[in-house]
């Protein structure tokens, strides 16, 4: 008896490709990529074999299923074919207009791969019997007859091949004999179960209770709920990313795979970190509410100065790694979705060092600094320690009207804050 289907979970990059997905799947289940058939399965149990390896993972829709194929021996590739197997239950209607049969599909479709030249009808029944063995009740495996009948059917599994939809036909039965199996690549066979034998376990029609669950499912689900650190975000921001399209190389004279890498070479006195919480996926914008743990003080950022060839007056000895220490002085929060939401700001006053919450026209003192750390954090503002003493803030207004009484709420008057004559140097960092 074959094993039950296995549900696995894979974490892939938003800009990843099917080829990278296949590599991860092969490593997880221990099956070579050449023996894995990745397919689309839509809501009507239709299987599409045409999954392009370069397809972006964000373009995937419906349910993805992977099937293990037989090993090709002696280099004979053309003799190996793959066909679809649809589990169905057929009942005759008491009342009908055109077709007297009521067809119900259950479980996901299967794929059978075999050497066509060596396959007859009896061997095919035996192979299918082993493939669906996990569906039988344990005490009914020794039944003296096949619990199903196999039919040649069309792609949808509703009638015989090349028969119109309104025909009173559920398929052409495959006899149990030594005759040659009449199947070609990508064709479909229906498994019609005999309900009177009562051999099947309870299997849901909507793909429930029919698979084993790999430990990766729980592990990845739990990881998605865990907070991530700002250091992890910086690592993801600067890691190598394979571009989806090859680029022409003038040296190689051909298109080659290209990787992109972003780095922070030199940090400014003011660092703005924009957390990438919105992503376009399956034709809609989704928001990630995952918590990001960020330090309020002593953020260490190591950056190496990048000296451009045009900087002729810059001494090469200026190159090197500098460990800069930043403190948080403001945090913008976002609540809601992309189409409708609300912004608030936590900000530290430079004079009294107290934190305030700015919510539209309301300004209130923040008593619990741990409130700054929340899943709503969207944009973080950091400054290098000691930057207040530099020229950057010489003309920047910093005193609110109520700084002497921090517990008092007041309306914020923009007119009381004169414009600065100089803008501070900033750097924006998009983190995903």
Could you give all domains of the chain from N- to C-terminal order, each with its CATH number? 6-220 (3.10.20.90), 227-431 (3.90.70.10)
Tokens 């049969």, residue located: 101
Alpha carbons 369 and 346: distance in angstroms, whole number: 10
pLDDT for residue 415 = 42
CA 223 to chain centre: 13
**What is the model's pTM?**
0.64
Q: What number of other Cβ atoms are within 10 A of residue 62's Cβ? A: 12
Alpha carbons 291 and 374: distance in angstroms, whole number: 6
The number of helices, as runs of H, and strands, as runs of E, in the chain is 4, 28
Query: Mean pLDDT, consecutive 10-residue segments, the chain of 432 residues?
Result: 79 75 90 86 70 66 78 67 89 74 83 89 92 71 75 87 68 92 91 73 56 89 89 86 82 88 81 90 83 93 49 43 83 92 94 94 93 95 81 46 47 40 39 38
For 128-159, letters b (16+ CB in 10 Å) and e give bbebbebbbeeeeeeeeebbbbbbbbbeebbb
Q: In sequence order, what DSSP letters do the residues of 230-272 get, joined into one string?
A: HHHHHHHHTS-EE-SS-EEETTTTEEE--EE-----S--SEEE
- Please name which of 315, 310, 329 lies closest in space to residue 386, comparing C-alpha atoms: 329
Question: What tokens does 201 get?
Answer: 């376990």
pLDDT for residue 369 = 92
pLDDT for residue 165 = 56
Rg (Cα) of the chain, in Å, rounded? 32
Question: What tokens does 414 get?
Answer: 């923009």
pLDDT for residue 347 = 96
Q: What is the dihedral of CA 322, 327, 333, 338, to 10 degrees?
A: -10
Alpha carbons 31 and 423: distance in angstroms, whole number: 58
């Amino acid at each position: 008896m074959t094993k039950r289907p296995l549900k696995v979970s894979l974490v892939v990059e938003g800009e990843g490709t099917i080829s990278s997905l296949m590599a991860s799947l092969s490593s997880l289940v221990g099956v070579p990529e050449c023996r894995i058939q990745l397919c689309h399965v839509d809501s009507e149990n239709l299987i599409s074999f045409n999954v392009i390896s370069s397809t972006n993972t964000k373009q995937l829709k419906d349910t993805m299923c992977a099937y293990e194929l037989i090993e090709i021996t002696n280099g004979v590739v053309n003799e190996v074919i793959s066909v679809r197997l649809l589990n169905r239950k057929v009942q005759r209607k008491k009342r009908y207009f055109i077709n007297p049969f009521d067809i119900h599909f259950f479980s996901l479709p299967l794929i059978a791969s075999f050497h066509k030249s060596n396959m007859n009808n009896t061997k095919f029944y035996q192979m299918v019997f082993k493939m669906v063995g996990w569906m039988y009740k344990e005490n009914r495996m020794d039944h003296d007859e096949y619990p199903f009948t196999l039919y040649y059917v069309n792609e949808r599994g509703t009638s015989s091949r090349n028969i119109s939809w309104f025909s009173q036909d559920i398929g052409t039965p495959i006899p149990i004999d030594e005759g040659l199996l009449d199947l070609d690549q990508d064709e479909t066979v229906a498994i019609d179960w005999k309900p009177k034998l009562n051999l099947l376990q309870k299997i849901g029609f909507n793909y429930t209770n029919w698979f084993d669950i790999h430990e990766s499912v729980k592990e990845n689900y739990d990881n998605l709920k865990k907070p991530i650190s700002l250091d992890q975000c910086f690592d993801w921001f600067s890691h190598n990313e394979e571009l989806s399209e090859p680029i022409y190389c003038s040296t190689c004279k051909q298109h080659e795979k290209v990787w992109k890498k972003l780095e922070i070479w030199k940090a400014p006195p003011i660092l703005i970190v924009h957390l990438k919480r919105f992503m376009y996926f399956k034709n809609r914008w989704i928001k990630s509410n995952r918590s990001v743990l960020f330090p309020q003080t002593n953020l260490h950022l190591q950056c190496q100065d990048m000296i451009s060839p045009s900087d002729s007056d810059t001494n090469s000895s200026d190159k090197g790694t500098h460990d800069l220490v930043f403190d948080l002085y403001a945090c913008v929060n976002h609540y809601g979705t992309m189409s409708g939401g609300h912004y608030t700001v936590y900000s530290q006053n430079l004079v009294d060092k107290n934190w305030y919450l700015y919510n539209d026209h309301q300004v209130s003192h923040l008593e619990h600094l741990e409130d700054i750390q929340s899943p709503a954090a969207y944009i973080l503002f950091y400054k290098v320690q000691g930057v207040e003493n530099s020229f950057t803030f010489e003309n920047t207004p910093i005193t609110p009207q109520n700084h002497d009484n921090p517990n008092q709420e007041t309306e914020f008057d923009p007119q009381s804050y004169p414009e600065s004559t100089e803008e501070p140097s900033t750097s924006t960092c998009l983190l995903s």
